[in-house]
Every structure is written in structure tokens, then in C-alpha cells.
Structure 1
Amino acid sequence: MTTLTRTSEDVAAGPTTARRRPRRDRLPYLLLLPALLVIAVLLLWPLGQVVAMSFHELGIRQLRGDQPWPWVGLANYAEILGDPFFRTVLRNTVLFAAANVVLTMVLGTLVGLLLNRLGRRMAAFVGGCVMLAWATPALTGAIVWKWLFDDTSGLVTWLFNQLPDGLSLALFGRTDWTGYGWFNSPLTFFAVLTLVVVWHSFPFVAVSVLAGLKSVPAELQEAARVDGAGPWRVFWSVTFPLLRPVFGILVVLSTIWDFKVFTQQYVLAGGTQDRSTFMLSIYSYAMAFSPPPKFGMGSAIAVVLTAILLVVTGIYVRMVLRQEES
């Protein structure tokens, strides 16, 4: 019956409308085609090249085309996955990303809550100051922080030298900080690197949380306060459930960004000499470009890193779909 009705409508509308209807159905896909082509050229093609390189043994001569690419299959993956140093690098990456995601989310959420409670002018001023950190290029920010932690004339070294000798000796076991290498020990290096990454990342979280807070109905929070709920209870029972999708996206984005940290680490470490502070991004770079270059091995490490990030993203998408179904 439905088919007959549609057919009669098409006949009544005339042959022109019936011919245009399939074209209109294809219109959204035609409009998306330019964006898909750009994504394919800028993202999918380089990714495919990296995957292809990971199955070959490549050096300078092979990459220049002077010699053919020797096929090694999964040998590069077997070598890196069986290397104890790779497991150390993976551990460094996971622990660093986990710590940075937690600190970034906590600090960004607190700043977002603060901005939401400030007046319009003060919130605009504080928000603008906070966004300066986000707007600063990662390279510029890393250079500034390296100057701050300079072992002779850095501001941080000067501040530690101003501490009373007894307090400095009791807390840190030393009184003279001039010449102290902040980037020589893995513990202090990762502490400084965490400070730099969190400083650069939390403004985005703060502004995103602030935008989410503007969409929370004030009546719900006021009702919770009337019922005797404190600030923490109001946030955890009312605000957080409503902003769970926002926090989920921010956690996934922060995880991806923190797993891929490269610029700040490269600048603070002064290159790829200190292998004890390697993470997956800089390990891939060092393997590919340090003499003798091993582009196949570096590509395999990059593919492993991409696979980890795809798994993290897939888990989040699955959680979102489950929430929508329930």
C-alpha cells in the first residue's frame, strides 16, 4: 500500500521531481567530498606511507631511490616488541600520559569553575590571561621554560638559592643550587616536562569546562543547595553527570596529546642523547633519524603509537554509544 502511495505521489508530482530526488540524496555526499579528499591527502596518504615503510628495511639509499626497498614483513615489529628498552619507553609514555591527563583535567576543571563564579569582566580578563598559555606555540613555551630552569641564571635556580640553608638542606639535601642540572635526572626532567605540558594544556580544558557549565541549568544547582548539598556534592551529583560527555571528550583529547608529546621533550632534553627519558614519539624519531637511520623501525614504532591511540579512541566511542543506547 505504501509503495502504491509513493508511486502515485511521484506520478502526480511529475517526471521532473522523480528524477531530481536521487540527485538530492547524493547532494550531502557531494558536499562532503572536498573535505574527504583533503583528509585523504593530508592524513590517510602519509599514514599509509608510514605503514608501508614499517614493513621494509629502509636507509638513506633506499629512501632516495638508489636501492630497492627490502621487504622484511613483521620483522621490525617483532624486534621492537621484543626489545626490553621498548617496554621501558612504553612504560614511560603511559605513566607520563596518565599523570598529565589527571593533572590537566583537575587543574583545568578548577580554573573553569573559578571562571564560572567570577564576574563578566574579571572572567574575561582571567580567561584571556589563561588562554595566552594555550596560544603560545609549544616550541616557544618549551624554550622559555628551559630558560627558567637554567642551571646558572634561571629564575627557578635563583629562587631555590633564596631558601634558608637549613630548610633547603632538610627538604632537598643541598643548599647551593647553582649548576644543578634540572634536566640530567629522569625524575626532575619528567617533573619539569610535566609542568610544561600541563601549563600548555589546561587552558583548553578550562575554557571547555566553562562552556559546559554555561549550559547547566541553574535551577538544578540551586535545588541541590536548598536540599543542603555542599559545593563538592553539587558538582559531583549535579554538574558532573550533565558534563560527562564533555569530560569524556577532554580526557580522550588529553590522552592523545600527551601520548604524542615531542616538541617540549626534544627542546628540554636538547635532542635525543638521553635515552633514559625516551617516550614513544621521540623514540620513533631517534630510531628513524639518528645515524645509522632506520626508517623502517621508526615507522613501526609510529604505527604502534597510532594503534594505541586508536584503541583509546575506540574505547571512548564504544562507551558513548552504550550511554546513548541506555
Structure 2
Amino acid sequence: MTNTSTIARGGGNTPAPGRRRKSSARPTRASGLPAWAVPYVLLVPGLLVIAGLLLYPMVQLTVMAFQKVGLAQVRGTRPAEWVGWDNFQRVLDNEIFWSALRNTVIFAVVAVSLTLIVGTAVGVLLNKLGKKMSLFVVIGCMFAWAVPPVAQGVIWRWLFDADAGIINWALNLLPDGLSSLLFGRADWTGEPWLNDAFTLYVVLVFCVVWAGFPFIAVSVLAGLKGIPAELYEAAKVDGSGPWRTFRKITLPLLKPVFAVLTILSIIWDFKVFSQLYVLMNGPTNREAFNLSMYSVAEAFKPPQKLGSGAAISVILTIILLIITVVYVRQIVKQEEMS
């Protein structure tokens, strides 16, 4: 009797064993937001910071590129005057712009290539070393990467100083016959490495590669740690040499890593300014200008033409965007074909 009444009271609402009711409501968080909206809400603070630090200054820079802005406009005594495309026309008609563009492109090609080559070689070497020795070398390399750009320029300016530089002192230690055979001269006292545009950029390449290869090396090392050791063992059994193993196994598997590192290196080396400014001791040698130095010289050297400087910066940004888009599209096409 008792069992029957119990079934009669609750049997109508009790679901069958093994079955669960389906809820038509979408899952929500404790905050009341839908689950799909939570990631976007979490991105809002970061997007606001990026907009405040990057997007707003970029918009202001673009607006300034179409205005005549000088010291009077900065002081607020006169309003900025809209001049349309005149700043861009003036910049493109100046021979210094094309010289600076040539210097920028050639330097970026050489510096990016050498940084990637040296960084990759060091990364492979670190992967072959033991754990303690690898950690010791990584820490030593990262000291160079951690040096601020201005300090990098000071270090290399001191090394190549005409009067007290170590480079001239070391070259003078070579036997006169050997020095004459290798370089065509025996006396290096007072050699002004930083006065000539070509040797200045040679020193700048050394400076940028020295400071940039540790980041490449550590990134390549991290990528190598993710490659299964069985692939190298199989290649070794098949009689593959080190260079062929690198081309057939390491390089293809590290393509995504190299793609990111190449893009970052291009952006960094196209915008090199601090090291060049210190080595050049300010915008003094127009033949050695790159686009960044030319922009600063136009904007701040009397008479100040901030509109022209902004126009050069906009052109540099557009060039970087074009290079990045073209490079990324090539990578995507190669991935789709493979």
C-alpha cells in the first residue's frame, strides 16, 4: 500500500532511468554573460590600451601629415594649416628621401639576413649543448639582447672611436706586412669609421646583429625542443648528413617560427633609430640618413617641419604594412600548396 501511493504521488514527474532532461537555455557564467561573449569581454581592456597607446597616436600622426605644423603651431600661437598632399609631394621630390629609402632597404636586408643566420646557428648549437652549458650560453646571450638601444650605440661607438677605440688599437697590433696584405694599410691610428656612410652602416649592422641574434637563437631553440627526436634518429640511420637533415627536417618544421621572426626582424630593422642616432652623433650626415633619421631631422631640426616628418613616418608605416602583407600572403600560399 505504501509503495503504491508513493509511485502515485511522484511517478508522473520522475524521469525514466538513464535519461536527462535537455535544457533549452544557453550556458551562462556567474556574471550573467553568455559563454561565447566572455573571451571578447576579456579582450576589451587590452584593446583599449592598444587603442590609447598605438591607434590614437597613429591617427594624430596621419592628421599631422596633411597639415603645416611648426614651432608656432606647437606653442599654440597659430592654428595648424591644412596643406593636403603638399608634405608628401615635398618629401618625395627631395633626393634625401630616396637616399634614405635606399639606405633603409639595404640595411634591413643585410641586418635581417645576418641576424636570422647567426641566431639560427646559435640556436642549433644551444640545442646540441648540455643543459648546464646551454643555460650558461643563453644567459650570456640574453645580456646583449637586454641592453637598451641607446646603450648599444654607445658601446659600439666606443669600440670604433677614432682616437680611443679598441678596433683601431687591435688593428695596429697586427704586423705591418699582414695588415698591408689584408687591408692595404698598416697604420690605423685615428681612422674615422663613423664619418663615412658605408663604414657607419657596417658598424650599425654589427651593432644590430649583436643585439638581435639572442632573441632569434632562443626562439629557434624553443622550436627545436618541439621536434621529435625520432625524426633525427631515423635520418641518422638513413645516412643523412647534418646539412641535409637541417634542410629536410629542421627547416620545414620551423617554418612558422621563421615566418614570425622574419616579420619581426623586418619591422625592427626598418625602424632602427636610436643606435644610428648615437653612432652618427645626431642627424649630422645626410648621406647616412635612413627613413627614421630623416623623419626626425625634418621634424625637429630648425626650421621645424613636423608635418613633413609625419609624412615620412606615414610612408614608412605604409611600406612596412605592404611588406608584411605580401610576406604573410606568400607564407599562406605555401602552406596551402603543401
Trace 1:153-232 onto structure 2 (pairs within 5 A). Answer: 153-232=164-243
Q: CA deviation at 1:85?
A: 2.0
Write out per-residue CA displacement over residues 19-71 of structure 1, whole angstroms, 9 at most, x where no aligned residue: 99873332222111111100000000000010000001110111222111111
| Residue 292 (structure 2) pairs with residue 275 (structure 1) | no
Q: CA deviation at 1:224?
A: 1.4
- Equivalent position of 1:285 in the other structure: 296
> 8 Å contact 2:27–2:34 — kept in the other structure?
no
What SS does the corresponding residue of 2:84 show, helix, strand or coil?
coil
Write out per-residue CA displacement over residues 210-253 of structure 1, whole angstroms, 9 at most, x where no aligned residue: 00000111111211121111100000011100000101111111
What SS does the corresponding residue of 1:167 show, helix, strand or coil?
helix
- Equivalent position of 1:48 in the other structure: 59
Q: Give aligned pairs, total.
A: 316
Trace 1:52-201 onto structure 2 (pairs within 5 A). Answer: 52-201=63-212
Letter paired with 1:198: V
| Residue 23 (structure 2) pairs with residue 13 (structure 1) | yes
Q: CA deviation at 1:127?
A: 1.1
Give TM-score scaled by structure 1 length.
0.92
Distance 2:80 2:151 in 1: 38
Q: CA deviation at 1:320?
A: 4.0
What SS does the corresponding residue of 1:13 show, helix, strand or coil?
coil
Which one of the candidate residues 27, 31, 52 is aligned to 2:42? 31
* Change in CA separation of 1:60 and 1:164 when aligned onto 2, cut-off 3 Å: same
Distance 1:131 1:208 in 2: 12
Letter paired with 1:13: S
Q: CA deviation at 1:142?
A: 1.4
Letter paired with 1:170: L
Provide the aligned C-alpha RMSD in A: 1.9
Distance 2:140 2:26 in 1: 59
Letter paired with 1:65: G
Which one of the candidate residues 212, 234, 251 is aligned to 1:240? 251
Structure 2, gaps ≥5 residues long: 1-20
Distance 1:44 1:23 in 2: 29
Write out per-residue CA displacement over residues 148-179 of structure 1, whole angstroms, 9 at most, x where no aligned residue: 11112211111011111122223323222111
Distance 2:320 2:125 in 1: 32
> 8 Å contact 2:96–2:287 — kept in the other structure?
no
Write out per-residue CA displacement over residues 65-88 of structure 1, whole angstroms, 9 at most, x where no aligned residue: 211111111111122122222111
Distance 2:136 2:27 in 1: 56
Distance 2:204 2:143 in 1: 19
Distance 1:187 1:306 in 2: 25
Letter paired with 1:260: K
Distance 2:124 2:26 in 1: 57
Distance 1:295 1:17 in 2: 54
Distance 2:145 2:27 in 1: 52
Structure 1, gaps ≥5 residues long: 1-10
Letter paired with 2:149: A
- Equivalent position of 2:8 in the other structure: none
237-246 or 316-325: bigger deviation: 316-325
